[in-house]
Every structure is written in C-alpha cells, then in structure tokens.
A = this chain, B = another copy of it.
Amino acid sequence: MSDAPIVRPLPVSGFPEWLPEVRLVEQRWLDTIRATFERYGFCSVETPSVEALEVLTAKGETSQEVYMLRRLQADADDDSARLGLHFDLTVPFARYVAAHFNDLVFPFKRYQIQRVWRGERPQEGRFREFTQCDIDVINVDQVPLHFDAELPRIVHEVLGTLGVPPWTLNINNRKVLQGFYEGLGIGDPLAVIRVADKLDKIGLAGVEGLLTTAVGLDPDQVRACLELTGIRGCDPGVVEEVRRLGVKSDLLSEGLDELAAVLGDLADLPAGDVVADLSIARGLDYYTGTVYEAKFVDWPDFGSICSGGRYDNLAGSFIRRNLPGVGISIGLTRIFAKLLAEGLLTTGPSSPADVLVVIPAAPRRAAALATAAELRTRGLRVETYHQPDKVARQVRYASRKGIGFVWFPPFDDGRAHEVKNMATGDQSAADPATWTPSAG
C-alpha cells in the first residue's frame, strides 16, 4: 500500500448518501412519486443543474444560498464565473417554458424530480444537496384556479401512498396579505410580508418590534397585522374571520375569494389535513397568489416538507409574455432523511436480486451461468456468486444481502435444479424455464 497520506473518505457534511438497502427504499419512493404524477398526466422535464446567474436572480432574494461555479484551472475565456447551481426547480422550469415556448402544448403540466443545491450551514432537515419533486402548471394568460387545489390533492395522494406520518398543508394567499396591508394604508406591503415570514424564528414580539422600527408602522397597523397573522382554521369560515377585521381593498377581496374557493375544493380531504393559515407568506418574492407550506404534525419545529404557490410573473418575465403558473414541491430528501433518522423506514435488501445462483464447484460454472441467463430472459433479477466456493458461504452471502432465493444448478448432469427459499428454509426441485419467486 502507498505511504501517501490517507484522504478521509466521508461524504461532505450536508451532502447525504445512503447505503444500498436505504437507497432501494428511496428508489421505491421515487417510482411511486413518478407513477402518481404520471397518472395525472404530468410529463417529465429535467433542466440543467446549472443556470446563468441572471436567470437564478431574475426574481427574488435567495442569492445568499446560491453555489456558483469556478473552473479549478480557469483560463482567459472562462465563462463559469457567471454560472450557478439551481436552488429550486421553479425558476429553471419557468426559464425552460420561456425557452421552448413555441414547442410546448399549453397548459403545460410537468413534473420534475431533481437535486437542488443551497450553500447553507447544514443542520437537522437542512441539506446542501437534496432532491425535490415538483409539479407545476404554466399556461398562456391564465391558469384556472382549480389547479391551486388539484396540485396539493396530488401531493396528498403521493404522501398517503408513501405512508408518511401525519402532516398539515397550510394554505394562504399572497393577495390576502398584500391587499390587507394595502387596505391598512401601508406603502410597502412586501416589507411587512418579509417581516411576518420570520414569525417562526423571531416570535410575535420580534415581529411586532420589526414592524414598528424597521417598517415604521403605527400601533393600529401593527395590531391589525398581528391579528391577521393569528387567524388559522380548517374550514372556509376562516375567510369570514378575516373579513370581520374590517379592512377593505379590491386585492384583499379577490384573495379571500380565491382562498375560499381552494379550501372549498379540498373540503373532502380528511379534517385537519388542509388548514388556512394567514401567517404563511413564503419568503421568496415570486409568489403572487395561493401559497402552500406543509409540516409534520408531530414535529412542528421541523422545517416545511412541501411548499409552493402561484407565480404570475416568473416565466413570462423571460420573454414578455403573460405566462402565469402554479406549483408545489415535495421536499423528498428532507422527509426521507427524517423518517430514516426516526427509525420509521423499513429498509430493503441490499441487492435487487430475486435469486442467487451458486457455483458449487469450478466445473459447474458454465451450468450456473447458463441457468442465470435463462432466468434473466424471463425477467428475473439474478446474481451469480462470483467464484466456486463452499455452498454454506454462498448461502450466507445471499442471506446477508437479503436475496430471497438460492438456486442450486445440478451438481452433476442429469440431476435436477433445486431452489432454497431463504425465508422458510424449504428446498425443492425447480425448472428454470417455469419457476417464479411466488411459486418458490
């Protein structure tokens, strides 16, 4: 062995990786998510991991979190300095729709399952590289409001199928917030939204202080803002609660109508799964209507596991068309890692194989390979052991990898094949032309 210093082989902090038996479960999740999205007719899109800086910062304030690129050995015409890794899938998707506008059929409904990157300090639930599963609809001129309800309904089905522990989808509408603040005579409603969005972190007193000092609201305005923030409820009646605060503006009225319609559309879901929460704002600037934010019921301090909303001015801004959209994102890695850490995932085997074919002795190697090949032509997943060896050792290998069946090709010509069911210990004759695991 070399005397060179040893490079510690750990993955970089904040960049998760899984053992094979965990990855196999993650693959099942991804297959389920994809199948569900496709059952609703959403097509797959992937965009590059990398976008130009001006695309990443076309809207909003998340520049803090962006990983930019640089070539290790940059030369004079290096253009990598203006390239960064995408921090979500919404901005790249909006750019994609604008880029391919003439080749897409609208309304354009796509799902996108990809990694995203954020240059954050790692902590529980916060990774620097993680996979998101997004569905979005973008259309020319208008996206019917029923999509604002259909998207969380699809996510509800996905998480239900995956058996994710209880969670609540909190819904709000940015028009309600902005319209309410405008109705109070506040000049910069976005400033209030940014402060109110910090409620989770700085608490009610912190928000009150900032609204007074940083935004410059008077005590009546502050009180009204805090009253709005405190409204939360499961049924459309919550909209009446807002109206009772007596603030008036056209935008507020429009937002409340939208919020009531979305809540009404989702009223058939189990009670408490969808909650109107007037404190939800979503910090990113690009949302203009409905906003979503989902959290685990049992871990209220854990970050949001799904989020999204309606963005009317994102895709169109690239080509000066009116291209509103609405979307929702499942934070796959965050959910998956949390359930793994809590011991709530049943991990799979560490091999995808249905069968291990043993090689009892060197002269039987050809017969073992031929048997494996025959089983594979029938769609079975088959490992062959890598060398002639003691049979007990080969069976132990199958056991350690969680392979369900061990196949013994005939030790001598003319004898029968045999299969051992690792779960029951039963061993019986089998025909490679007809055997199936369910018959095993």
Distance of A16 Cα from B2 Cα, bound (Å): 40
A269 touches B (CB below 8 Å): no
CB distance from A38 to the nearest CB of B (A): 4
Distance of A96 Cα from B23 Cα, bound (Å): 13
Given A9-B318, A12-B83, answer yes or no on A397-B18 (Cβ-Cβ < 8 Å): no
Given A20-B43, A23-B45, A105-B397, answer yes or no on A64-B68 (Cβ-Cβ < 8 Å): no
A147 touches B (CB below 8 Å): yes
Flag if A71 contacts B80 (CB, 8 Å): no
Q: Which residues on the B side are within 8 Å of A76 (C-beta)?
A: none
A71: which of B6, B66, B384 is its contact (CB, 8 Å)?
A: B66
Per-residue contact bits, chain A 76-112, to B (CB 8 Å; 1 contact, 0 not): 0000100111000000000110111001110101100
Flag if A40 contacts B7 (CB, 8 Å): no
Distance of A180 Cα from B144 Cα, bound (Å): 72
Distance of A95 Cα from B12 Cα, bound (Å): 11
Flag if A40 contacts B72 (CB, 8 Å): no
Distance of A50 Cα from B17 Cα, bound (Å): 11
Q: Which residues on the B side are within 8 Å of A84 (C-beta)?
A: 72
Within 8 A of B (CB), among A262-316: 313, 316
Q: Which residues on the B side are within 8 Å of A400 (C-beta)?
A: 105
Q: How many monomers of this protein are in the complex?
A: 2
Bin chain A's interface residue count. Answer: 35 or more
Given A67-B69, A67-B71, A68-B69, answer yes or no on A110-B44 (Cβ-Cβ < 8 Å): no
Most B-side CB within 10 Å, residue of A10, A11, A316, A376: A11
Q: Which residues on the B side are within 8 Å of A107 (C-beta)?
A: 386
Selecting from A51-59, A220-228, A249-257, the interface stretch reads A51-59
Distance of A46 Cα from B44 Cα, bound (Å): 20
A17, closest chain B residue (CB) = B47
A364 touches B (CB below 8 Å): no
CB distance from A330 to the nearest CB of B (A): 18
Within 8 A of B (CB), among A401-433: 401, 403
Flag if A45 contacts B20 (CB, 8 Å): yes
A115 touches B (CB below 8 Å): yes
A20, closest chain B residue (CB) = B43
A123 touches B (CB below 8 Å): no
CB distance from A120 to the nearest CB of B (A): 9
Q: A8-B318, A9-B98, A107-B386 are in contact. List 9 more A-B contacts (CB 8 A).
A: A9-B55, A12-B50, A17-B46, A23-B43, A41-B352, A63-B73, A66-B72, A67-B72, A80-B119
A interface residue numbers (CB < 8 A to B): 1-2, 4, 6-12, 15-20, 23-24, 27, 38-55, 58, 63-73, 80, 83-85, 95-96, 98-100, 103-105, 107, 109-110, 115, 117, 119, 128-129, 137, 139, 144, 146-147, 313, 316-322, 350-353, 356, 376, 379-384, 386-387, 397, 400-401, 403
